Structure 1
Amino acid sequence: MSAMRAATWRSLLYVPANVPRFVAKAPGAGADAIILDLEDSVPVAQKDAAREGLADAMRICREGPAAVLVRINRPLRLAVRDVEAAVACGADGILVTKAMDAGHVRLVAELLDELEGGTPRAAILPLIETAAAVARMEEIAAASSRVAALLCGAEDLAAEMGCTADDEVIALIKRRMVIAAAAAGVTPLGTLGSIADFRDHEKLRDVIARSRRAGFGGATCIHPGVVPLLNEGFAPTEKELDLARRQIAAAEEAEREGRGSFEVDGRMVDEPILRRARRILAAAR
């Protein structure tokens, strides 16, 4: 199977799959992707009902333009049923809860291959939520061509390590995840700080801006009010787009004239700068 493209979702909205009123509102939230959650937001007693209702929830979410993903459960007996239900209703991706190692990811990929047949659709988004998985982020990111992004479960990690979710230890893990994702050619998703308080827009914009500068391509959220801020914060600015276009144009002109070096706005432009410019223009598209 050929490699899937790295994820380009700026905003991913978690929605409890078992709460009809939240599902009904999800298509109008403006998120690039909706995550129908079968895991943490669904009580144990309602797991089976949430899975059985997944097709209806998927159909409603498909009324908007967003991709629709499913976060599956652990242990394995629940995970397999969740994946089967997700594939049956055409999920665009699977969030693998508490990804352990490359073998774990490959098992999910094998199950997807079997269920989907010769037309692969669902991407895999492993969640790094244990200290053991932190040590294996690089192999997890590169485990399958289906892997499109990496995410870090800050609360689960903090609970295991005895720190708080906003401690520098968690920030360090997230920064290392950016490196692991880049090495594998996939997208790191997340923020360097909490975005749980959807009312403090100034703080949210600051956290999102810092996260984008650190290399993150988008983030998940649990409140629709955060979606517009993620879409804005993880999108290229007009100033960035203008500079990128002029850098690409200058490179094309220099090539026609047989020149290997040139400058734009008083700064020398070389291949790393051009790669960034191409990435900015691709993100805008």
Structure 2
Amino acid sequence: MTRVWRSMLYVPANVPRFVAKAPGAGADAVVLDVEDSVPHDRKLEARAALKDAVPMAGSGGAEVLVRINRPLRLAVPDMEAAAEAGAHGILLTKCMGPDHVRLAAEVLAGARQKMVIVPMIETAAAVPQMEAIARASSMVAGLLVGAEDLALECNAASDDDLIVLAKRQMVLAAVAAGVAPLGTLGTVADYRDAARIRDLVARSKRSGFVGATCIHPALVPVLNEGFSPSEKEIDLARRQLAAAEEAARDGRGSFTVDDMMVDEPILIRARRILALAGQA
């Protein structure tokens, strides 16, 4: 995985005051939305706003993605506008399958900067294709399950075990393809309940997720902290690697730290934790 966005803040592209506040939120990525948060009669306005919104949203150092529309008559000009504005990538909504990804990659191939694609899994038909979707193009940087849309199609609640199952399957598909598994095992819509969301993020991190989206700036620090290695994890990783050097001098490949067995898989995890800590 080449990118890890711990926090991805959704901002409606057609509301300048929200765009202006986005750089100060501290998110790893700002997602300028021209889809669900924009009324149908304001779609063209939101698309035109990308020219100014993309550089503004990225002025604080965040990468800027654009969540585009479906159908294709809206999606293609959305992608072209995102590329022209200098966006780092797109969220490909209601991804139909690998051919859909390849079509988007073809549209974005002519951009003056290298762009990435995050396919959104929002239909039942896309769920069994997730690994193929993730492998469809080298531009794919991660996968994200759109819980509300998927739940609506399935006539299920967005926090039901059915949707959680799809999210867990998405983690396996993303990891198998070498891209980032994004999201949480539940909803973060109620940004006022920070304690519940901290617990949700902790559980999601344990399940392999590396970052998530949110709709309110108040959740950005919660996501950044929750998806970053903790001081306890960093300390243990350092001590495990130090112990590994000592054990290697004695010709041992396994040993104990804090009464727990350590061997190569644990050391790989320790190196990954320190690498993520440096990136954060």
TM range (shorter): over 0.9
Deviation, structure 1 residue 90: 1.4
Give the counterpart of 1:177 among 170, 183, 194: 170
User: Hey, what's the Cα distance between the residues in 2 that align with 1:170 and 1:123?
Assistant: 25
User: Hey, what's the Cα distance between the residues in 1 that align with 2:181 and 2:269?
Assistant: 16
Deviation, structure 1 residue 6: 3.3
- In the TM superposition, 1:99-178 aligns within 5 A as 99-116=95-112, 121-178=114-171
Whether the aligned pair in 1 keeps the contact of 2:55 and 2:86 (CA below 8 Å) is no
Aligned to 1:54: 50
- In the TM superposition, 1:33-72 aligns within 5 A as 33-72=29-68
Whether the aligned pair in 1 keeps the contact of 2:253 and 2:264 (CA below 8 Å) is no
Structure 1: which amino acid aligns with 2:189?
Answer: A
- In the TM superposition, 1:9-24 aligns within 5 A as 9-24=5-20
TM-score by length of 2: 0.96
Structure 2: which amino acid aligns with 1:95?
Answer: L
Aligned to 1:264: 257
2:110 counterpart SS class: helix
- For structure 2, which runs of at least 5 residues remain unmatched after alignment? none
User: Hey, what's the Cα distance between the residues in 1 that align with 2:137 and 2:223?
Assistant: 28
Aligned to 2:246: 253
Q: Does 1:204 align with 2:233?
A: no
Question: Post-superposition, which runs of at least 4 consecutive aligned residues in structure 1 deviate over 4 A?
Answer: none
Deviation, structure 1 residue 50: 1.0
- In the TM superposition, 1:23-38 aligns within 5 A as 23-38=19-34
- For structure 1, which runs of at least 5 residues remain unmatched after alignment? none
User: Hey, what's the Cα distance between the residues in 2 that align with 1:87 and 1:252?
Assistant: 48
Give the counterpart of 2:276 among 262, 269, 283: 283
Whether the aligned pair in 2 keeps the contact of 1:11 and 1:230 (CA below 8 Å) is yes
- Matched residues, percent identical? 66
2:60 counterpart SS class: coil
User: Hey, what's the Cα distance between the residues in 1 that align with 2:3 and 2:71?
Assistant: 26
Give the counterpart of 2:85 among 86, 89, 92: 89
Whether the aligned pair in 2 keeps the contact of 1:6 and 1:149 (CA below 8 Å) is no
User: Hey, what's the Cα distance between the residues in 1 that align with 2:111 and 2:121?
Assistant: 25
RMSD value over aligned CA atoms? 1.2
User: Hey, what's the Cα distance between the residues in 2 that align with 1:222 and 1:22?
Assistant: 11
Deviation, structure 1 residue 276: 1.1
User: Hey, what's the Cα distance between the residues in 1 that align with 2:3 and 2:145?
Assistant: 15
Aligned to 2:215: 222
User: Hey, what's the Cα distance between the residues in 1 that align with 2:9 and 2:189?
Assistant: 12
Q: Does 1:234 align with 2:218?
A: no
Whether the aligned pair in 1 keeps the contact of 2:131 and 2:177 (CA below 8 Å) is yes
Deviation, structure 1 residue 75: 0.8
Deviation, structure 1 residue 145: 1.3
User: Hey, what's the Cα distance between the residues in 2 that align with 1:228 and 1:81?
Assistant: 33
User: Hey, what's the Cα distance between the residues in 2 that align with 1:260 and 1:158?
Assistant: 47
Structure 2: which amino acid aligns with 1:108?
Answer: A
Residue-by-residue CA offset, 1:59-93 (whole Å, 9 max, x unaligned): 21122011111111111121111111111121112
Q: After alignment, is 212-221 or 260-269 more displaced?
A: 260-269
1:263 counterpart SS class: strand
